[in-house]
């Protein structure tokens, strides 16, 4: 390039950055002034000191921010904290009381989501989880919710049990590769439900595809917290600039998101003609679409919507299940007493002549307590998926401006010492009554989100939500998957610390990632069959269900 043109490019960039800087300053001054006028009567919630222009941008740690928020809440003696950066305002709700009051009782005011600019940059198609409040959101929720209601998920139980048996068999046959078995279980269920596609074995390419997407989402940082989300114009800056590492991340992982959205969808469409009995989400939606087309009716849910919604099922459903299963293995390995107690319960309820089935699940009280304690110990989305307010609000005399992003600090609520004694201890008995040797503590809260992003509003000055549904549409599906696989794991496997060469268990501290989701990183474990009898049962039952499962 000519020196003159180089100079011109450098000048263009400098002026571009200068104009952008000026815009940021103007934006901040105007929004501060407007906010100050509104808050004359009420003050904003407490917040830690911020920096000029950058606000709280550099004050919030990128790793495990939820822990810092919990500390600030104690320091400032408040359950609501306020922050702002580049004109974006956000509050963190650190108590169950605040989250229930704002996100549930006043849910209509907090039904929106912020705009997820970083996720847009990552190439998502319309995805319910990230959609803002509005007709598109309502349409997606109306289409996606019905197949996952508490009664409808019974449709998937045969598939879930078959995959649970296959998972445990793969863990026993190839214990070093137990993570792949767990990933296969998590992917196989949602891939079949969304697209009608089968995962063949633990080396299926679908597993790698889902793994890549999970990596992309899991380490992308708390949703709506990047510089692009705070100040969308920065998405057009070159990604080598300082502060733009999240833009670089988004662009690096874009192909993974695009593949998972496109490739299984196309594979599913190819089977439309040959699989008339395929009742997957994509086939069902395509059939509706074709019928509307033939009858010359409108098709509001277009191809991009079907594609995006199917990908939502896989992306929202696979990694959450996988991460919870990894936690089961970890906590059972670390707490052998709890493991033995749960195995005792399985033996008592199910006996030794068969493996756990759906009719046993309601009777497995201690197994359910292990699930609850796993949820509490490590909420996968420690700051939930943020909501956004559609109107200004006053809470305990504190002013919450319209358009504020709202994070429930689910981790803080589930580690509140005033509710949970010794909150960092894995103790499933804590939920039992005092007479039963427990501590009468409530089940964990908020792991599946708060409130209701309502489907319809009632009219009137105090608008309220009409649809009282739990925010995560996949909760019932996920709980069924987790309970059946946990029960079969307890019936067929012994989980222990990895063994050294001399055969002795070697305890270690696992590593975690707290960037975005809170997940335990891959770790070693010693997994063995509980005995020849349970192994024979596993082989026999797997053969039977594989023959019968559709
Ligand atoms: C252990 C398993 C799971 C956990 C911990 C979990 C957690 C969550 C959380 C925290 C939210 C955000 C709620 C909010 O906005 O306050 C959410 C939303 C959502 N989840 Fe799940 N989820 C799980 C499994 C699933 C599964 C299996 C599916 C698939 C069917 C699914 C689909 C969704 C969807 C579509 C949303 C967005 C709902 C909306 O914004 O209206 N999830 N989930």
Tell me the per-residue pLDDT of 55-92, one tens digit each, with 9 for 90 and over.
998 899 988 999 999 999 999 999 999 999 888 899 99
C-alpha 173 – ligand 1 centre gap (Å): 32
Q: Are 409 and 92 in contact (CB under 8 A)?
A: yes
Q: Which burial class, exposed, middle or buried, applies to 497 when counting CB atoms under 10 A from its CB (0-12, 13-18, 19+)?
A: middle
User: Residue 83 has which token pair?
Assistant: 């922050």
Q: Is the CB of 450 under 6 A from ligand 1?
A: yes
Is residue 243 over pLDDT 80? no
Q: Is the CB of 268 under 6 A from ligand 1?
A: no
Task: Provide ipTM, 2 decimals.
Answer: 0.98
C-alpha 312 – ligand 1 centre gap (Å): 9
C-alpha 191 – ligand 1 centre gap (Å): 16
Q: Which burial class, exposed, middle or buried, applies to 36 when counting CB atoms under 10 A from its CB (0-12, 13-18, 19+)?
A: exposed
Rounded to an integer, what distance in angstroms lies between the CA atom of residue 334 and that of residue 276?
Answer: 48
Least confident of 102-116, 167-181, 345-359: 102-116
296-316 pLDDT, tens per residue? 888 889 999 999 999 999 999
Q: Is the CB of 316 under 6 A from ligand 1?
A: yes
Task: Determine the pLDDT at residue 460.
Answer: 43
Hey, CA dihedral for 364, 366, 368, 374, is it positive or negative?
negative
In DSSP terms, 400 is beta-bridged to: 393
Q: Is the CB of 335 under 6 A from ligand 1?
A: no
Rounded to an integer, what distance in angstroms lies between the CA atom of residue 35 and that of residue 206?
Answer: 49
Name the pTM for this structure.
Answer: 0.89
Q: Which burial class, exposed, middle or buried, applies to 475 when counting CB atoms under 10 A from its CB (0-12, 13-18, 19+)?
A: middle
What number of residues does the chain have? 550
Q: Is the CB of 473 under 6 A from ligand 1?
A: yes
β-sheet with 405-408: strand ranges across: 80-85, 88-93, 405-408, 387-388
C-alpha dist (Å) from residue 492 to 329, 354, 367, 537? 13, 11, 14, 9
C-alpha 550 – ligand 1 centre gap (Å): 26
Hey, CA dihedral for 376, 378, 379, 380, is it positive or negative?
negative
User: Residue 31 has which token pair?
Assistant: 């929004």
Q: Is the CB of 114 under 6 A from ligand 1?
A: no
472 is in an annotated binding site: yes
Rounded to an integer, what distance in angstroms lies between the CA atom of residue 63 and that of residue 330?
Answer: 22
Rounded to an integer, what distance in angstroms lies between the CA atom of residue 115 and that of residue 132?
Answer: 7
C-alpha 204 – ligand 1 centre gap (Å): 25
pLDDT band at 40 (very low <50, low <70, confident <90, very high): low
Which residue minimizes the CA distance to atom 21 of ligand 1?
A: 472
Candidate from 316, 410, 519 with most ligand 1 atoms within 8 A of CB, to mutate: 316
Which residue minimizes the CA distance to atom 8 of ligand 1?
A: 448
Q: Is the CB of 478 under 6 A from ligand 1?
A: yes
Candidate from 131, 132, 474 with most ligand 1 atoms within 8 A of CB, to mutate: 474
Query: Could you identify the atom of ligand 1 that is nearest to the CA of residue 450?
Result: 16
Q: Is the CB of 474 under 6 A from ligand 1?
A: yes
Which residue minimizes the CA distance to atom 39 of ligand 1?
A: 129
Rounded to an integer, what distance in angstroms lies between the CA atom of residue 141 and that of residue 244?
Answer: 33
Task: Determine the pLDDT at residue 482.
Answer: 98
Task: Determine the pLDDT at residue 463.
Answer: 45
C-alpha 73 – ligand 1 centre gap (Å): 26
Mean pLDDT score of the chain: 88
C-alpha 320 – ligand 1 centre gap (Å): 8
Radius of gyration of the chain (CA): 25
User: Residue 305 has which token pair?
Assistant: 């919507």
C-alpha 451 – ligand 1 centre gap (Å): 12
Task: Determine the pLDDT at residue 32.
Answer: 57
């Amino acid at each position: 390039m000519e020196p003159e043109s180089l100079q011109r490019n450098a000048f263009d960039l400098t002026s571009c950055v200068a104009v952008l800087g000026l815009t940021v300053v103007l934006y901040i001054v105007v929004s501060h002034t407007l906010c100050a006028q509104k808050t004359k009567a009420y003050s904003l919630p407490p917040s830690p000191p911020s920096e000029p222009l950058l606000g709280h941008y550099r004050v919030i740690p990128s790793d495990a921010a939820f822990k810092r928020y919990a500390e600030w809440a104690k320091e400032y003696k408040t359950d609501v904290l306020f922050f702002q950066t580049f004109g974006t305002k956000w509050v963190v709700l650190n108590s169950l009381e605040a989250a229930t009051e704002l996100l549930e009782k006043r849910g209509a005011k907090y039904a929106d989501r912020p705009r997820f600019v970083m996720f847009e940059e990552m190439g998502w198609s319309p995805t319910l989880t990230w959609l803002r409040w509005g007709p598109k959101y309502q349409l997606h929720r109306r289409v996606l919710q019905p197949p996952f209601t508490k009664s409808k998920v019974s449709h998937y139980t045969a598939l879930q049990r078959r995959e649970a048996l296959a998972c445990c068999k793969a863990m026993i046959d190839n214990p070093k590769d137990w993570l792949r078995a767990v990933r296969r279980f998590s992917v196989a269920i949602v891939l079949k439900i969304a697209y009608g596609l089968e995962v063949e074995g633990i080396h299926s390419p679908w597993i790698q595809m889902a793994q890549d997407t999970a990596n992309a989402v899991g380490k992308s940082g708390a949703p709506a917290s990047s510089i692009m989300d705070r100040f969308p114009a920065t998405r057009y800056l070159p990604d080598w600039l300082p502060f733009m590492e999240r833009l670089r991340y988004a662009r690096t992982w874009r192909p993974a998101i695009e593949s998972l959205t496109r490739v299984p969808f196309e594979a599913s469409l190819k089977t439309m003609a040959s699989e008339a009995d395929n009742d997957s989400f994509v086939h069902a939606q395509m059939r509706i679409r074709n019928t509307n087309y033939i009858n010359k009716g409108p098709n509001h849910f277009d191809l991009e919507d079907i594609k995006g919604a199917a990908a939502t099922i896989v992306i929202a459903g696979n990694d959450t299940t996988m991460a919870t299963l990894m936690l089961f293995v970890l906590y059972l390995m670390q707490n052998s007493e709890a493991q033995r107690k749960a195995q005792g319960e399985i033996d008592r309820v199910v006996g030794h002549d068969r493996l756990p089935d759906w009719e046993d699940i309601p009777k497995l009280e201690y197994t359910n307590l292990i699930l609850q304690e796993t949820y509490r110990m490590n909420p996968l989305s420690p700051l939930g998926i943020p909501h956004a307010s559609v109107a200004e609000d006053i809470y305990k005399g504190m002013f919450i401006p319209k358009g504020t992003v709202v994070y429930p600090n689910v981790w803080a609520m589930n580690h509140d010492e005033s509710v949970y004694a010794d909150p960092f201890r894995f103790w499933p008995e804590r939920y039992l009554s005092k007479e039963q040797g427990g501590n009468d503590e409530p089940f964990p809260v908020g792991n599946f989100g708060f409130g209701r992003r309502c489907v319809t509003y009632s009219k009137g000055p105090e608008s309220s939500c009409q649809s009282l549904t739990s925010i995560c549409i996949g909760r019932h599906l996920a709980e069924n998957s987790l309970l059946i696989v946990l029960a079969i794991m307890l019936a067929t496997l012994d989980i222990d610390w990895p063994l050294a060469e001399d055969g002795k268990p070697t305890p270690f501290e696992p590593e975690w990632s707290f960037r975005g989701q809170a997940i335990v990183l891959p770790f070693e474990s010693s997994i063995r069959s509980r005995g020849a009898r349970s192994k024979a049962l596993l082989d026999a039952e797997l053969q039977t269900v594989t023959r019968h499962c559709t």
